[in-house]
A and B are shown apart, each in its own frame.
Chain A
């Protein structure tokens, strides 16, 4: 089993749609969690950290379920500019980050 698993997609959605991605992780001792966004041939950029209580940043909402060992990202009112690959990232301690392979999102007009 991979340490961090994501559905590779692509998720094809129209502008204005709501889309959700899930990510599962295998190490129950994982300490912190992040979502990064990566555009084609660019570096990953931090989108948001994921807290146990869940957190929201504008149109983006992240949630953590430690019991089931999954993380989710919800994007509301999708924009064309949201088209990218979304990476689920898990900190397993000693500052070691484990990256998922990413979920590709395509938002169409």
Chain B
């Protein structure tokens, strides 16, 4: 089955730790995206990548980093510099029809 997978589903982090969220897709899409969703707010764009070895900051990139070494993979690192990292993180990839398809998400909680 083609799709987008994210892991882990739930992640708990202590303050001061960096954590990396995984995102993999086998849809052969060039563009991939990371969003965060907070209660009562719309999705906000963290980073996006339109092609391998290239990525751009979104609206709320501070405290996050990404890499795009392979077309299939777009991991997100939440660093200790992110002031309020507890959120629902969603990865997406974009089809040629400009529609974005989402993975199941990772819920990150900072203890």
Interface residues of A (CB under 8 A from B): 4, 32, 34, 41-46, 49, 87, 91, 95-102
Is chain B's binding surface mostly helix, strand, loop or mixed? strand
Beta-carbon contact of B42 and A43 below 8 Å: no
Known: A49-B99, A97-B100. A4 touches B42 (CB 8 A): yes
B2 at the A interface (CB under 8 A)? no
Instruction: Give a binary string over B18-57; 1 marks a CB under 8 Å from any A CB, 0 the rest.
Output: 0000000000000101010000111101001010000000
Whether the Cβ atoms of A101 and B90 lie closer than 8 Å is no
What's the count of A-B pairs with C-beta under 8 Å? 45
Interfacial chain A residues near B101, Cβ < 8 Å = 46
Q: Which of B33, B48, B50, B103 contacts A43 (CB 8 A)?
A: B103
Residues of B within 8 A of A43 (CB): 90, 102-105
- Which 9 pairs across A and B sit closest by C-beta, in order of nearness? A99-B42, A43-B102, A99-B43, A101-B42, A43-B105, A43-B104, A44-B102, A32-B98, A46-B99
Residues of B within 8 A of A (CB): 31, 33, 35, 40-43, 45, 48, 50, 58, 88, 90, 94, 97-105, 107
